[in-house]
Amino acid sequence: TTLFRSTWSTFAALNKLGLPCYHMQEVIMNKANTGHLDFWRKVANSPPGSQQDWDKVFANYTATVDNPGCCVWRELMVAYPDAKVLLTLHPRG
């Protein structure tokens, strides 16, 4: 059992459908994503709604689930206005 298993199944499904998906594991485990942790630190220390170069982290992805993307969903909707939103609800709330 992992702490992120509910988002992990969505992450796995999107990837299986051919939609490269960004997840906190991508920040931590993917060695190709050097600089992502520093980027997210900068975002965390910026006022909400601050302009960011989101393509620095999302250029190779077509979806995002879990942290850190869910923390800036409003900003991402402004940056990617044509993006689709997939709402997942946990059965226990």
pLDDT in tens, 8-45: 889 999 999 999 999 998 888 888 888 999 999 999 99
Question: Which among 89, 92, 57, 88 is positioned nearest to 72, based on CA atoms?
Answer: 57
- pLDDT of res. 1: 37
- What are the structure tokens assigned to 32, written together? 């190709």
pLDDT in tens, 60-92: 999 999 999 999 999 999 999 999 988 877 777
pTM greater than 0.85 = no
The set of long-range contacts for 44-47, using a CB threshold of 8 Å and a minimum separation of 24, is 44/68
